Structure 1
Amino acid sequence: MRRTIGQVLEETKIMVIDGAMSTALEELGCDLNDALWSAKVLIESPEKIKEVHKNYFAAGADCSISASYQATIPGFIKRGFTEAEAESLIVRSVELLKEAREEWWEESGKAAGRAYPITACAVGPYGAYLADGSEYKGNYGISKEELRAFHKRRMELLWNAGGDLLAIETIPSMEEAILLAEMVEEMDAACWITFSCKSETEICEGQKIADCAKALADFKGVQAIGINCTAPHLVASLIGEIKSVCDLPVIVYPNSGAEYDPTTKTWSIPEGCKPYGEFAKDWKEAGAELIGGCCCTNAKNICEVHHVLRDGCDCH
């Protein structure tokens, strides 16, 4: 049986999501300066991906997200893999996550009385495949049919690999989000959908996040709606915008506060950025029920989130 967000929230009241895959892999010595980004490690060092998942569970995460954000069939084919090999690598991202969950659960999670975690299969936007920062711009200039064809097979592979839900994330476009929600419904699958946002009210392509949430709220496969890969100081307002039109749980896993330069593919932290755990407290007070981290966050940050949300930390 697949685990649902509702089941975990019944046990935990508020749910901790993991942090960045890329940052954690870099901390383990991986070089991600590549169009495949973290998906490159599926080829070179898959055991490190499993290590990252286990570290996040140990840090207090109730959910970890597969290393499939930038794992696409055309991306792997460009690198010289066959279509069958590309499909196998995408499936492997889910297998590694499920293996990590079982190992952590048997080694320590069950004995500690933790909730059995959710496995979420990352579905990045079309913009992530372009590897030019388009997930923060949208306006791809391709047809709805081309967009559907790009997403369809990967989504089927990820869902059929047995994860609990699809983590449809960093979506800059209302059109892309609605298309993906339609596809989830056609597959009789489950998902959350999170947007990349450029202001306190707008997603990156310029649509109001309240309009996006209202349009998505009635899709039966959508279990939560929210924000990821967004500046943390924007998030409390965005939570309020979603909650004003939608009764679904709100999920947020923003960036650490670092700012991204798509030309150099580097992050820098501005002066005066407050600790991540303090942001998490703000998001909880604003009404988010699922909270984690995206780019430049790591297991230490997720431990902070766990501490803030659970009034004490047993994750060391």
Structure 2
Amino acid sequence: MDLRARLRNDSNHEGVLLLDGGLATELEAQGAHLQGDPLWSARLLHTNPKAIKAAHHSFLLSGADVIISATYQATIQGFVEHLGVSSDAARELLASGLRLAEEAATAFSSGKRATHPVVVAASVGSYGAFLHDGSEYSGAYADKMSIEELKACHRPQLQCLAAAGAGVLALETIPSVKEAGALVELLREFPNCDAWISFSCKDGTRLSDGNLLQDGVRVAGRSTQVLAVGVNCCPPEWVEPLLDSVAALKSPDRRWVVYPNSGEEWDAQQGWQTSAKTAANIPTLSDVWIKQGAALIGGCCRVCPDQIGELRRHLNRRLNISTEEEADLET
């Protein structure tokens, strides 16, 4: 089922769709070694596709309505450079990321556990993800590139995913207004694809490049193909002020999407460091996000299937409460 149709179904969990969590986090929990790999989880499209499908299945079992393909760091150039494969083989690997997610969704939907149709979104990371230097959290490269250069970098990946049948593109961890503008322009070349754009941010009002989230939302609003805009891979406590900062731009034609990380902090030497802010906060915090208009909620790095399951149970309880309140009003 397509995302546009699901977002119209406001009776489903108060209009909220549950995204999956950190795919790489689940792959690492299965034993994959991803840290430092320039292809990150996309390498497993080549070496262990069964693990990717199993990770998707884990999030579906936890109640996710939407799963995101393992193509965030998958590019034709990256596969050619780091796997030594041909361009044609690289395209097939990229397409296989979408296919694996669709196969997992189909298998789940045909099983007894399925209670809702699953949406598959094809992940497209920022150009910084390809660079593998952390610049998806600064956007520094965008200052040195033109809109046309950014479009040229993204075009092969979008061409491949669109040809593979992607109906929804998850344009993720976008750090700059300029790159968002390039992607909005590029979407016109793929009229059969809808999308969401989620930004990386540096605080409770600003994108990683220093511009306001408001500026990014306005740019996203130039395209009717962009069904949702928001943030991902930020600390959970930033989501409320970020959505507050764009409240005046809320539109029935454009929903909010939020999927923060666990709140743990990344240290280049020691990896993820646990702090007092953990993913356990996400279900409680989501109550406010829903009131602010968030229609797509999930998790990013370090958010595992168990935590998505906890969020699903929280959303289910909210739905029951809302249903009971409506019944009381009717009587």
Relative to the length of structure 1, the TM-score reads 0.93
> Which residue identity lines up with residue 253 of structure 1 in the other structure?
Y
For the pair 1:150 / 2:159, whether they are aligned, the reply is no
Instruction: Output the CA distance in 1 between the equivalents of 2:213 and 2:236.
Output: 16
The answer to whether the aligner puts 1:84 opposite 2:88 as a matched pair is yes
Answer yes or no: is the 8 Å Cα contact 1:243–1:250 preserved in 2.
no
Deviation sequence 1:62-119 (CA, Å, 0-9, x none): 1000000000111111111111111111000000000000101111344xxx220110
Q: Give the equivalent residue in structure 2 for 1:190.
A: 194
CA distance in 2: counterparts of 1:16 and 1:64, whole angstroms: 9
Aligned residues between the structures: 308
- Deviations along 1:283-303, one digit per CA (max 9) or x if unpaired, are 223321110000000101111
1:221-278 Cα deviation digits (max 9, x unpaired): 10100100111111111112233213111000010101123x3482112135462322
Structure 2 counterparts to residues 1-316 of structure 1, below 5 A: 3-10=2-9, 11-12=11-12, 13-33=15-35, 34-79=37-82, 80-110=84-114, 114-140=115-141, 141-188=144-191, 189-247=193-251, 248-261=254-267, 263-264=268-269, 266-273=271-278, 275=280, 276-311=282-317
Indicate if the aligned counterparts of 2:279 and 2:303 stay in contact, CA closer than 8 A. Answer: no
Q: Deviations over 1:181-229 (max 9, x none)?
A: 1111221021000000111110100111012112221311101001001
Task: Verify the 8 A CA contact 1:255 1:294 in the aligned structure 2.
Answer: yes
C-alpha distance in 2 between matches for 1:312 and 1:221: 30
Give the superposition deviation at 1:163.
2.7
Question: 1:177 Cα deviation (Å)?
Answer: 0.6
SS at match of 1:227: strand
CA distance 1:180–1:238, change in 2 (3 Å): same
CA distance in 2, matches of 1:137, 1:29: 30
Q: Deviations over 1:140-187 (max 9, x none)?
A: 023323211110011111122123300000000111011101111221
The 3-state SS of whatever aligns with 1:18 is coil
Q: Which moved further from structure 2: 121-130 or 80-89?
A: 80-89
Instruction: Give 2:133's aligned amino acid.
Output: D
**CA RMSD, aligned part only?**
1.7
Residues 215-224 or 63-72, more deviating: 215-224
Q: Distance in 2 between matches of 1:145 and 1:76?
A: 23
Superposed structure 1 runs of 4+ greater than 3 Å apart: none
Identity %: 35
Distance in 2 (alpha carbons) for counterparts of 1:185 and 1:264: 42
**Mean Cα deviation higher: 268-277 or 289-298:** 268-277
2:249 is paired with a residue of what secondary structure?
A: coil
- Residues 228 and 252, structure 1, Cα contact 8 Å, conserved in 2: yes
Shift of 1:312: 7.2
In 1, Cα distance between equivalents of 2:195 and 2:182: 13
* In structure 1, distance between residues paired with 2:195 and 2:273: 31
